[in-house]
Amino acid sequence: MKAPLHPIMLAGTGSDVGKSVVAAAFCRIFRQDGYRPAPFKAQNMALNSYATPEGLEIGRAQAVQAEAAGIPCHTDMNPLLLKPQSDHTSQVVLNGKPFGNKDAYDYWRRGTSEIDFRKEVCAAFDRLASRYNPIVMEGAGSISEINLRDTDLVNLPMARHAGARVILVGDIDRGGVFASVYGSIMLQTPEDRKLIRGIIINKFRGDMRLFDEGSRMLEDLCGVPVLGVIPYYKDIYIEEEDSVSLEQKRRQLAEGKVNVAVVLLRHISNFTDFDTLERDPRVNLFYTNNTTDLQRADIIILPGTKATLDDLLELRRNGCAQAIVRAHRDGKMVVGICGGYQMLGQMVTDPEGIEGSIASLPGLGLLPISTTMSPGKTTRQVTFEFDGQTCTGYEIHQGISDTDQAVVQVGHCIGTYIHGFLDNAPVIEYILGDKAKAATPMQSYADFKEEQYDKLAAHVRRHVDMERIYEIMN
């Protein structure tokens, strides 16, 4: 029996410094070393979410980390999830269930909520810590947002409750790592500064020896040891949490491959639905809202969205709706997932104003369904039959369509509420069709992900001082 370890928190000097991926690496490392780790992020803000085995909703990043840890995901791993609906409001998901919509100002003001969110997230951590060890915690954004210190639920106040050892992660690739690390530590209260037990420099490019002096300088400045410098990698695949990365995937059409265009929506969600297709060597997948690209693509996919009516209106304004209909008329395959599925129907209505002020809009008319938005949310893991084979996925959606079919198909147009639909080999082979028959299918997605978690763990092990980290956690 392994001796229990203190929790570890991966906190950040800012957003997108790699906290989620480093946390996933530690989940896999601790599992390999004989522990039973579990991930925890008190509050997550993301449009990528996942359904637990119990049919509840958490942030996708914590589901990925649980997978790396080799355990089923649970709402206690991410008790509070904020899903942005506009620049100022978010849907609040508490312990896996929608709690309501909150204005950002009201949410961050003290004493304006009818429920004690801090009590809820601390209770979730305590339940998780009673079942797993160690807990690999993830902070959110920057730990130095001192204007939000009193209402912070996820960074150092949460570390204090957990008795966690905090490791500060800085991103050297974006520049200014000395200032961001030093400033992040110095802006803490003396009490919180003591919680920070180490520094990890992430996304280093070039000759590692060039930063040896930099590590010593950081240690002298901050009084905190540098526990590792992790190089940037290109050959390891871990699911992305944020849609920022999609802007870098506006690739052009490619000769000799099946060109798959994912319509770039303003409120796109669960874009991990396309990761399996993106890594298929037979496929060139890209994101676009250019009408010419849509018409030239072999396959068009309308993805999920947090605001179906708003994005449907924009598709009509920018000409993408008409381009999709024309491409379908010309014989191109069109696939809609979740909100994209709703848009492919005859009508989308919102009589209660669940999404906003748009009461109804006609869909693209390619599928014989109509959808009514409703306050309730469907969240569940599912199995379904496709092309004679059993497949798996999960549903997370608002709105009720007037059919109970898992997958609706009319000719070369397919729609479904199922996320993970395109992770199933029978679905991919059917959609790619004759265009990709000559190529060799890939290994299963589950086997691929396991391989990537092991590669990530090996990469991080090589470049951080695990012996010292275990000393800190003991």
Annotated catalytic residues are 338, 419
Q: How far apart are CA 8 and CA 37, in angstroms?
A: 11
C-alpha 28: how far from chain center = 18
83: nearest Cα among 63, 105, 64, 98: 98
| 413/409 Cα distance (integer angstroms) | 6
- In sequence order, the 6+-apart residues with CB closer than 8 A to the CB of 335 are 299, 300, 301, 302, 413, 414, 415, 422, 431
Query: Which two three-digit tokens encode residue 443?
Result: 């290994």
Exposure of 330 by Cβ count < 10 A (0-12 exposed, 13-18 middle, 19+ buried)? exposed
Please tell me whether the peptide bond between 72 and the residue prior to it is cis, using omega within 30 degrees of 0. no
How many CB atoms within 10 Å of residue 467?
7
Alpha-carbon gap, residue 345 to 370, rounded angstroms: 6
Spatial distance between the Cα atoms of 138 and 154, rounded to a whole number of angstroms: 8
Check the CA dihedral 107-111-113-117 and report its sign: positive
261-293 burial, b for 16+ CB within 10 Å, e for fewer? Answer: bbbbbebbbbbbbbbbbbebebbbbbbbbbbeb
Cα(379)–Cα(393) distance, integer angstroms: 11
